[in-house]
Each structure stands twice: as structure tokens, then as C-alpha cells.
A and B are shown apart, each in its own frame.
Chain A
Amino acid sequence: MASITIEHVTKAFGDVVVLKDFHETIQDKEFVTLLGPSGCGKTTMLRMIAGFEKPTSGLIKIGDRVVSGNGTFVPPEKRGIGMVFQSYAVWPHMNVFDNVAYPLKIAKRPKDEIKKKVERVLETVHLSQYAQRFPMQLSGGQQQRVALARALVAEPSVLLLDEPLSNLDAKLRESMRFEIKQIQREYGITVVYVTHDQTEAMAMSDRIVVINRGVVQQVGSPTEVYRRPANQFVADFVGTINFLKGEAKGGRIELQGLSQSIPYDGMYKGKVVVAIRPENVSLLPNGGQPLNGRLTNTFYLGDITDCRVDVGGQHLRVIANSRSYDTLTEGQEVTVYVDDFLVYEDDGRDDHTQIVT
């Protein structure tokens, strides 16, 4: 059993606090993603699980064993973890076989067992025919697989991945996503995955931990995080969203700069922000609330048409059917229909989405 228990972990470099009071338990065989903009502290958390950084305070347990905190600190080599680094970190002076066999050699396993296990894992990552090659003769994607094979070969119960796909091209990234997920199921391991790419996080995770400026914003399944984002930051970082300012009173929200309102029976009163995902707005009647506006820009993207609509001085991004492109003229008056939206209290700050590093 390899759950990972993180209790009130805080990390500071000097005076700079990069991670504040992280508290979460990752279940056995769970795929959890730490998602956030660069500099949010997600990699630091991963490196603390690995043992490359010591928490300033707090406790980390892998399974039932305290690896960090309470006066104990288990160095990385004693933690029995597999890890894939962003730069792959494939050793240039060893060939593929030796790279992958390394963890087993360190563990002093018999030669024939090493051979069998390395061959098996190389097959899993489709590198069998490259065993004798040197890293310099491999493409980025292949080096990536070597790193993955090396992390898996000792059959660890925990696998850590630090933005493993960020250096690959778009097509390869998509297929690797699928493969990593396959491997996780096959090996039945606990995975902690760090990324700033929300699509990656959505596609692979059982649960997502959204972090911003060292503080956990929300923890939940991909659907929870997407459909019910806990705050404006999460709403904006995961997926695309429009924010419209307004005022809630008497069961309706009056939109700023517009003599229109939409029905609302939520808890907030006074200044609010209405958050609308582009796919929940339509240029065609869909039973939603109509709003009048003017079409300012249209972008033909092939599968969809991306439109910007000016609603009383505020911009609204609307996804339209690509076939409608020919019928739309920039500058024309349009009616948009909103069939789903979220409401947040307006605390007067507009920097939720700003990325501070």
C-alpha cells in the first residue's frame, strides 16, 4: 500500500514562502495532478515528496512510513520512488539498457533478473530495439521513454512525474498522455504528476490539486474542478471563462453597463462576478437567458468559430458552429443565449488570474 500523506507542509526559501500549509492525502493507486502556473510551488511539493527538498515544517508519509518531519528525514535513495524529470535526465555516458538497469544494479539484483525486467519495461515503453543505443542517438520522445522505463523498472509503488511532457511536440504529448495512463493501470501504482497544462491534468487525473502562489485553491476530480471551480482563479486557470461584473439583488443579477439582467437565486448579494464558459453561450436560442450585444471579432478555427461579443462594454467569448462563420459579420447586432453560469462575490480585485512568479 502506498498512499502519500502530506500534513500541513510549508516550505520557505529564506523569507520567501513558496508553499503554504499543504494538507492532503493521496490514496493508493490514485493519479493526482498538481496543477498551477509556473512558480506556484507545485514542483517544490513534488521534490519534497521525492526528498530533494526538506519541508520547513509539516510531515510527509509514504504508506505508513514517515519520510520527512518529526525529526526524521529519509534521503531520496531510501524512499523507493520512481521519478521522471522534466529534462529527462537520461545519463549520456550510459546506453539505454544501462540507464534503465541502473536502479536494479544499485539494488544488487541478480544479472538475469535485471535483464528480464529491463527487457520487459523496455517493451512496455516500445524501446526494445533501442537497448544498445546511446541517448544522443535518440529523439526527445525516445529519451522521455527511457526516463519513464528507468522510473518504472524497480516497480516502485509511487511514481513522480515533473512536467514530463512539456518538451514534446503536441501530437506526441497526446499519445504519451494515454500511454502513461495505461502504464499506471497496468502497474497499479500511485502517481503524482506535476503540470501547468490543464488539458493534461483533466485527461489523466483521478483528482486535481490546483495551486496558486503556494496556496491550494481546490482539490477535486476533473469534473468537479471544471464544473464547480472554487474561485475565480480556478475557473480561469482550468478551461476558458468569461467574467462579467454585475450586481445581485432581488433574485436577479444586473449586468454592469447593460440594462439587462439574468435570473439568480444564489446566496450572494451586492457586487458579484458572473462567470460563463464559452460553450455555455450560444448565438442560437438554446432556452437560455438572452442578452443583447454586438459582434466585434470572429476567428475561423476550422472546427469552431471563436467569436467576441461586446455586452455593454464587457467582452464575452462565444464558441459558434463553424458553419455559421459565413453568416456572421463583424459589427452586427446579435443576441446571445446563456444557459449556464457561475457566480462569485466581487472582492474588487482583478488580479486573480495574474500569474505572479
Chain B
Amino acid sequence: MQPSLAPAKKELHFDIKWLIVAAIVALLLIFEVFPLIYLVLRSVFSTGRFSIEAFQRVYSYELNWEAVRNTLVTATLSMFFGIMIAFPLAWLVGRTNLYGKKFFRTLFVMTYMVPPYVGAMAWLRLLNPRVGTLNVFIQKLLGLPQPPFNIYSIGGLVWVLTTFYYPYAFITISRAMEKMDPSLEEASRISGASPLKTLFTVTLPMMTPSIVAAALLVFVSAASCYGIPSIIGAPGQIHTVTTRIIDFVYIGSQEGLTDATTLAVFLMLISNAVLYVSTFVLGRRQYITVSGKSTRPNIVDLGRWRILLTVLVALFSIVIVVIPFVTVAMTSVTVNMGKPLTASNFTWKFWERIMTRESILHSAKNSLISGTIAATAGIVISLTMAYLLVRTNVKGKRIPDFLITMGSGTPSIVIALALIMTMSGRFGINIYNTLTIMIVAYMIKYMLMGMRTIVSAMAQIHPSLEEASQISGAGWLRVLKDVTIPLIGPSVVAGWFLIFMPSFYELTMSTLLYSTDTKTLGYELFTYQTYHSQQTASALATAILLMVIVVNWILNKLTKGEFSI
């Protein structure tokens, strides 16, 4: 007789994993999806009925058109120059016998952790059209009638955007290059192709999807950047979409808010399109070339070019990294910014100020609290999600992953605007004017970094390690606690800092979400820079820089060089 195939009693299968997924999805729906959808709806239903009136009005202002044009032009140029810089650098540092390549690598990657507005502050000092230190130096050096550069221009904006966003491309391209099986290049060499020919016929074509993805990332980041255009663009009357949005919000009227919304929707559509292309079109095209053996990368001997190229890369790093950071550090101890830094012009006064002034300390405390909570909550969700993604087959596990990716791909300014409009009590939740709204915003924007880090760490742990614990009688929570977490510990710490650091010095969202009681460090620094004292702002920026270096060093030690940033 055949065994009965009838199912056992139909019982409600209450899977705790499914509940967790559902809970995360619910949170994301409330705090991310709903506000963004509302933002789009609001732009077309501004009068209660469907109309594109708001769009017509906004885009009929010449000033707004100019802002859109500026945004597209600067983002496109920064993308172009960023890739032109990042690809050769990634190749030189990753695949050749360049001197000091490890050091250069750390240097470029670390720029990624520095808030972009620090670059704007530095270049403002260096390339001010009349008194910029570097400008005057070059003028004297070449005997020019006037300083050669003007930072308050489209060119200046592109320059600073490029120097601060090329690391995004550098990191993306370097990673793809590391993953490529070196024997693919060796096969080309043995077929008779020179190293250069190999670069162009094998390496470059295989890297194309990653390069395009990197380019799009730079484009979106540059287009949605607020710190740089607000510091550099404002004095030169160069508006971008982001600065216009903030201006409209500050006007405060209903109409202003509608105009801000309409511009934000434009920014959001661009970034969503880019996100779609890089995940669903390029993502599928990424060649899986990881091999089992011989992962030692193929090092190209630069021969007689070695010294020349090393000197060039060193010069590049001095101009792009060292000079700006040193400038900011020097500004922080200068009494009179019009004079050179001498013993009589030296002071610790501004450092004392940032350590003692009540308002600064209060803002720092706010940033510390909201950064810590955002990072901790973000990591808890990341850990859970990573576990569910890598180790289980629970239904719907891809949904939170998708939503978190989408949140991170949305421009900060859009997230903040959407939160303001939906979380101020109109829909039953009022967290406006509190730190909670900051924390929510930070989590939406930066949680992905933590999740990606942990997912990739967990994917490298063989499931049998966990199965061994399970067979010994541990439930899945216990397995997580006893085996998984200890093994991925370093990545968890790294992921935590990847959420914490950008939240800690965040500017764009804080500018929209702050209230008198909930000012953040980034906002405080920005107001000092623009209105009160550039030296005080520089002291704060230098403190942040030092913190970035220390965190980077800790992460490097903790993961034995495997992980920085």
C-alpha cells in the first residue's frame, strides 16, 4: 500500500522569520515609500485635482531652468572627469608595480569618508578669485597679470565636485578589477598581445559594466550634492537644483513648498532611472569572473614609466588630497586669514571655541546621539536582513533589500523633503522638530552601506559552520548569536561606522530637518562657514578629518588590512 500523500492537518505556519520580514517592510513602507509617493502625488495634485500646473509654473522661471541646466552640466562633467581620473588610478594602484600603491589606495579611499563640504571650504580658500592662496601663488610663479582661477564659477564647481566624487568611481572600479580572474589577461598576453593591447581588448571591455555603473553613481551623487554648490555656488550666483529646493523650502509658503516638491521630483526621477539602469540592466551584465585559483593579481611592470607615473600620482594626491586638507587644518589656527600663517598669526582660539561653546557642543551631542542610534538600529536591521538574504529562503526577503537599495539611491534632499511633508502630524505621525526624524532620514539614506558590508561578509562564511551549531541543538537565533555574529564581528563594526560617519557629519538632510533644539554638527559647521567664522568651521572640519583617519585606522587594524573606509 502506498503511504498517504494527503497533507497533514492544515495548520497556521507561523514563521518568525516571515514576521520579521513583514515588520521591516512595514517600517520601510511607512517611513520611506509612503513619503516618497506622497511627494510625487503632491507635485501633480497641488491644487487638489490632477494638474501639471506646478510643473508649468516652476519650469517657466528662467532661474529654475538655469538651475536644472547647471545641475545637469556640472554632474555630467564631474562624471566624465571623475571616470577619467578613477579608471587610470584604479588600474595603476591595483594592477601595476607603481611605488607606494598601498599608501595611495588608502589615501584615495579615505577621501570617500570625508564630507564633501570640507573640499568646498578648502578650495574656496585656495582659488578665491582675488586672494586664493594657490591662485596668488600661481600668479606670482607665472607672472600673470591676475590670478588665473575663479572658484565661483561652473568650472570651479565641477572641479570640487570631481575631486570629491571620483573616489566613488575609484572604489567601484577597483573592486571590480580585484574580482577579475587574472588568467583572462594572461590568456591575452600569451596570445601575443602587449600589456597595453591587453588593457584595451580584455581588461577594459570586461570592466565596461562596472565603469558605467561607477559613472552613473558619480553623476547622481554630484547632481544631488548640496554642500558643495551651496558653499561655492551661492557667492557666484550659481544655482543648482538642490540649492533652489532649499531656497524654496526656506521661503516657507505653500507655493514655495510646491515648487520645492516639483524640483525634487525631477531629481528623484533622474536618480531612480539611474538606479534602475545600474541594478537591472548593468547588474545582469556583470561578468562573473571569480576563479578558484591564482587570485594573485597580474602585476604589469611599468618599466621605465614607473618613476614618472609614481611622480604623477604623487603630484595628483598632493593637489587633490594633501593641499585641501592641510589648508583646512591651517585655516583653523590662523588669526587673520588675509595674512600668511606665522607665529604671530597663530592661535588655538578656534579649537578652544569648538571645545567650549555651548551651541557647538549641543549640536555635536545631537549628531552623536542621532548617528549612534541610526547606526545601531541600522546594523540590527542589516544583520537580520543579511541573515535572511544569505541563509534562508523566507518569502519576500528581496522586498526589504529592494526598498533599502531604493532609499539609499534617493537624493538626501528628496528624502528630507518627503519626510517633512508627511511626518509633521498630517498623517498621524508627528516627529518633525525631533531627533527621531533625523535618525529616520539617516537610516533611509545610509543603511545600505551597512547591509552590503554584512551581506558580503556573511556570504563568505560556509553554511556548514552554522549547520554544525544547528545540529548541536541551537535554534536559528542561537546560531546567529553563537556562530554567525562572532565570525562576522569585524564587518559588523565596519558596517556600523559606515552608517555612523556620514550620519555624524550629515549636512543636506539636517539643513531641512533641523529645529532650534536639534541642530546638528554638519549644519553648525555650515552656518559658521557661511556666516560667522571660517576658522571655527575649519577647526570643526579638521576635527572630523582626524576622526575619519582614526576610524579608518581602527577598521584597518580590526580587520587586518582587509577593510578600510
Contact B183 A87 (CB under 8 A): yes
A34 to B291 Cα, complex, angstroms: 22
Contact with A along B276-294 (1 / 0, CB 8 A): 0000000000010101111
Q: A87-B181, A87-B294 are known contacts. Are A76 and B190 too (CB-CB below 8 A)?
A: yes
Closest B-chain residue to A163, C-beta based? B293
Which residue of the partner chain B has the closest CB to A83? B190
- Name the residue of chain B whose CB is nearest to the CB of A81: B190
Docked CA distance A51–B192 (Å)? 12
CB within 8 Å of A: which of B263-305? 287, 289, 291-294, 298
A93 touches B294 (CB 8 A): no
Do residues A102 and B191 form an inter-chain contact, with CB atoms below 8 A? Answer: yes
Among residues of A, the one whose C-beta sits closest to the C-beta of B201 is: A102
**A80 pairs with B192, CB closer than 8 A:** yes
Chain B nearest CB from A340 CB (Å) reads: 39
Cβ-defined contact, B189 with A86, below 8 A: no
CA distance A252 to B200 in the complex (A): 70
- Of A51, A52, A89, A154, chain B has the most CB atoms within 10 Å of the CB of A89
Q: Quick check: A93 and B191 within 8 Å, CB to CB?
A: no
The answer to the question of A267 belonging to the interface, with a C-beta cut-off of 8 Å to chain B, is: no
**Of A106, A151, A160, most B-chain CB atoms within 10 Å:** A106
Q: A102 CA to B291 CA in the complex, in Å?
A: 22
Residue of B nearest to A79 (CB): B190
Inter-subunit contact A89/B194 (CB<8 Å): no
Nearest-neighbour CB distance to chain A for B179, whole angstroms, equals 13
Q: Which B residues between 186 and 202 are near A, CB-CB below 8 angstroms?
A: 186-195, 197, 201-202
A87-B293, A91-B202, A93-B206 are known contacts. Are A154 and B183 too (CB-CB below 8 A)?
no
Smallest Cβ distance from A189 to chain B, in angstroms? 14
Most buried by A among B183, B191, B206, B293: B191
Interface pair A85/B193, CB less than 8 Å apart? no
* Cross-chain contact of A83 among B184, B187, B194 (Cβ < 8 A): B187
Contact among A51, A89, A93 with B183 in the assembled complex (CB-CB below 8 Å): A89
A77 touches B189 (CB 8 A): yes
Q: Is the CB–CB distance between B191 and A92 below 8 Å?
A: no
CB-CB contacts below 8 Å: A85-103 with B = 85-87, 89-93, 102-103
Asked if A103 and B192 sit within 8 Å, CB to CB, the answer is yes
- In the complex, whether A150 has a CB less than 8 A from a CB of chain B is yes
With beta carbons under 8 angstroms apart, the residue of B193, B202, B298 that contacts A77 is B193
| A102 & B186 in contact (Cβ 8 Å cutoff) | no
B49 CB, min distance to chain A CBs, angstroms: 51
Nearest residue in A to B198 (C-beta to C-beta)? A77
Interface pair A92/B193, CB less than 8 Å apart = no
Pair A92/B183 contact, Cβ less than 8 Å: no
Chain B residues with Cβ below 8 Å from A87 are: 181, 183, 291-294
Q: Which chain B residues border A102 with CB–CB below 8 Å? A: 188, 191, 193, 201
- How does the 8 Å CB contact mask read for B190-218 relative to A, with 1 for contact and 0 for none? 11111101000110011010000000000
Q: Which of B184, B192, B206, B208 has the most CB of A within 10 A?
A: B192
* Nearest-CB residue, chain A, relative to B187: A89
A75 within 8 A of B: yes
- Of residues B183, B186, B187, B195, which shows the largest number of chain A Cβ atoms within 10 Å of its Cβ? B187
Are B293 and A103 in contact, with the CB atoms below 8 A?
Answer: no
- Alpha-carbon distance A91/B204, docked complex (angstroms): 12
CA separation between A79 and B205, bound complex, in Å? 25
CA distance A102 to B205 in the complex (A): 14
Is A114 among interface residues, defined by CB-CB distance under 8 A?
A: no
Instruction: Please determine whether A103 and B184 come into contact, CB atoms closer than 8 angstroms.
Output: no
Q: Quick one: which of B186, B191, B289 contacts A150, CB cutoff 8 A? A: B191
Pick from A76, A78, A107, A151 the residue with the most CB of B within 10 Å: A76
* Inter-chain contact A107/B192, CB cutoff 8 Å: yes
Is A55 in contact with chain B by the CB < 8 A criterion?
Answer: no
Is the pair A76, B189 in contact by a Cβ cutoff of 8 Å? yes
CB distance from B455 to the nearest CB of A (A): 24
In the complex, chain B residues 450-487 whose Cβ is within 8 Å of any chain A Cβ: none
Binding site for B on A (CB under 8 A): 50-52, 75-83, 85-87, 89-93, 102-103, 106-107, 147, 150-151, 154, 160
5 A–B contacts from the bound complex (CB under 8 Å): A52-B186, A86-B291, A86-B294, A87-B292, A93-B206
B positions within 8 Å CB-CB of A: 181, 183-184, 186-195, 197, 201-202, 205-206, 208, 287, 289, 291-294, 298
Q: What are the 3 closest A-B residue pairs judged by CB atoms, nearest first? A: A103-B191, A87-B291, A89-B183
Query: Can you add 19 more A-B contacts, CB < 8 Å, to A83-B186, A89-B186, A89-B187?
Result: A52-B186, A52-B189, A52-B298, A75-B194, A78-B192, A87-B183, A87-B291, A87-B294, A89-B183, A89-B184, A91-B184, A91-B202, A92-B206, A92-B289, A102-B201, A106-B191, A106-B197, A150-B187, A154-B191
